[in-house]
Amino acid sequence: MKGAKQIRGTDCQMVGLLHCDCRLPGPTKRTSSAAMAAGKAVWMAQARSTAGSMMVAASCGVAVGWASSAVVKLQDRTGPFQLTDDQASWVVSLNDVGILLGSLLSGLCFSVLGRRATLLLCPLLLLGWAALTFAATAPAFLYVARLLSGAGMAVHFVYGNVYLAEVSVRSSRGLLSLLTSLFAMAGTLLQFCVGPYVSYRTQAWLGALPAAAALVLLLLFTVESPYYLAMRDRPDEMLAALARLRGCSVESDALRDEAHEIERTVERQRSAGSLLAALCSPASRRAASVGVVVQATAPLFGESVLMAYAQKIFIISGSPLGDAQSAIVLYVAQASACLACTALVDRWGRRTLLSVSCLGNCIGMAVLSAYLGASPDRQGPLQWIPLASLLLFVVSCSLGANPVPGLLLAELLPQRAKPLMAPLSMMLFSVTAFAVSKSFLALGEAAGMFAPFAVFAAWNALAVAFTRLFVPETKNKSLAEVYGMLSGREEAPKQN
């Protein structure tokens, strides 16, 4: 029994070394084996606690992809009722209004009920969306259903990454955050591949299944954030939650050191005084400005509107494949690029990935805009230009511009600022997304279809400059170190 306890203590020390990224002098074979075992324990513990969040992301992806084929069914009279073009536009756009409402709702719950309870709202809202969609007999049912789906997405988009950042070790924080993007893309791809070939009501149940699975996983395995418990002055619960997340004993010295680091971070932010005073500090102003700008302007990268109108864009620009087949190719490329990003985010860093991604976006959009503006003969080799430029765009966007803004927001915002600034950024995101979606076709009709793509290219060029000038690097840093770097308490490591 004593020997087992000693082994357990060694594993916990290895967990501490993994978390702080220390190096043992003269590693032995036994030490290496212990470190590997401890690393596996950490991964298993984090996988259990974040499985619900991953399934929530898949549920949101299914909801995102629902409209593409469901609206077609409802307009060609294969659904339970028929939609006009105007009604269809409201069904699509009310999802963004739901994101706005969900940002307000989740902001009220975040600090009072905790991270875990807030995340539980997402599958509940998406189950409501699926039920109303299944039972719909008139457009009004779908209007309410889309408000619910948008509200559920907002809960995940605002606080999913915040939760992951607070519970993960620094070496896996970027990877876990990007896995949520991959799960979301997988959900969307599922709708695109299955939705067109099943009935309207079967497609509605397709949205309910991952939401139900997410609810079960969140209830059974999700652990409350240690940062939230520290803020609520519940140290024993905080230590127990941290032990579950690290897969080791509460008696571990390394675990207690990490707990004290969390408590010191929370106490420093409390000492800033009121929420308004905290936001007035230079560190909070910098973090809030960078995080909110990057997140709120993400729709201007162009990805969301491009994927929503993918088939229409290929009808206008032409493609050697069919318009529907070309759209599926884009989604497969998007998911593949996001998978590649999981291997790069903790090697290259957030700042470098975002810069390279926006540069690729700019080139892809500029080429497509020039092609549409020149109106060349769409036969021969030139007919591949639209597909090639859009493939470059979705791949580069999925490598950074899509997943990194949410990760940066979760890492940069201080604890006291998150209840206000996180939902505010998503509210601004929803307003921007609504404006971009509504103006895309109008601008194309008024000035030519090259114009919206030229706007996206220009914005991505500005994003490259903004990232290089203002966005700090956060890879391989604990949240306490990130706040310290922004506050100037320690010299920041050389940025990528």
Residues 277-313: pLDDT tens digits? 555 666 667 777 787 788 778 888 888 777 666 666 7
10 Å CB burial of residue 182 (0-12, 13-18, 19+) is buried
pLDDT above 60: residue 22: no
Q: How confident is the model at residue 5 (pLDDT cuts 50, 70, 90)?
A: very low
Alpha-carbon torsion (18, 23, 29, 31), positive or negative: negative
Query: What are 333-360's pLDDT values in tens digits?
Result: 877 777 777 677 667 888 888 899 999 9
3 state DSSP class of 74: helix
Residue with more model confidence, 455 or 163: 455
pTM for the model stands at: 0.69
In sequence order, the 6+-apart residues with CB closer than 8 A to the CB of 367 are 385, 388, 389, 392
What is the CB-side half-sphere exposure of residue 169 using CA atoms within 13 A?
Answer: 29
* pLDDT for the residue numbered 309: 67
pLDDT value at residue 286: 74
Q: Which of 100-114, 316-330, 402-416 has the lowest mean pLDDT?
A: 316-330
User: Rounded mean pLDDT of 414-437?
Assistant: 76
5 vs 317: CA distance, rounded Å: 67
Q: Which amino acid is at 341?
A: C
Nearest to 464 by CA among 357, 392, 341: 357
- Per-residue pLDDT for 62 more than 80? yes
**pLDDT confidence of residue 272:** 57
Residue 189 pLDDT more than 70?
yes
Residues 6+ apart with CB under 8 A from 79: 70, 73, 200
Q: Which domains does the chain have, with CATH numbers?
A: 46-249 (1.20.1250.20), 280-486 (1.20.1250.20)
Whole-number Å distance between alpha carbons of 350 and 401: 10
Instruction: Name the residue among 465, 489, 439 with its Cα closest to residue 265.
Output: 489
DSSP letter for 162, please: H
Average pLDDT rounded to a whole number, residues 232-238 = 86
Q: Return the pLDDT at 124.
A: 93
DSSP string, 383-414: GGHHHHHHHHHHHHIIIIITTHHHHHHHHHS-
pLDDT tens for each residue of 35-50: 566 667 677 777 788 8
pLDDT at 460: 93
> Binning pLDDT at 50, 70 and 90, where does residue 276 land?
low
The residue among 66, 54, 15, 21 whose CA lies nearest residue 37 is: 15
Q: pLDDT class for 9, splitting at 50, 70, 90?
A: very low
pLDDT cut 90: percent of the chain above it: 11
pLDDT tier at 490, thresholds 50, 70, 90: very low
pLDDT band of 11, cuts 50, 70, 90: very low
Lowest-pLDDT range, 3-7, 126-130, 351-355? 3-7
Mean pLDDT value across residues 55-61: 90
Q: What is the pLDDT averaged over residues 190-210?
A: 85
Instruction: Give Dmax over CA atoms of the chain in angstroms.
Output: 80
Residue 12 banded pLDDT, cuts 50, 70, 90: very low
Q: Mean pLDDT across the chain, nearest whole number? A: 77
Q: Which of the pair, 143 or 411, is modelled with greater confidence? A: 143
Q: Tell me: pLDDT of 104 over 80.
A: no
Percent share of the chain, pLDDT over 70: 77
Residue 179 to residues 56, 168, 189, 217, 255: CA-CA distances in angstroms? 12, 13, 15, 16, 26
Contact 338, 182 (CB under 8 A): yes
Q: Check the CA dihedral 74-78-79-83 and report its sign.
A: positive
294: Cβ–Cβ under 8 A, 6 or more apart, which residues? 354, 404, 405, 408, 409, 466, 467, 471
Ranking 132-136, 248-252, 388-392 by mean pLDDT, the lowest is 248-252
Higher pLDDT, 26 or 166: 166
Least-confidence region, from 2-11, 90-99, 154-163, 396-405 = 2-11
| pLDDT tier for residue 450 given thresholds of 50, 70 and 90 | confident
Statement: residue 230 has pLDDT above 80: yes
Q: Name the residue with higher pLDDT: 430 or 323.
A: 430
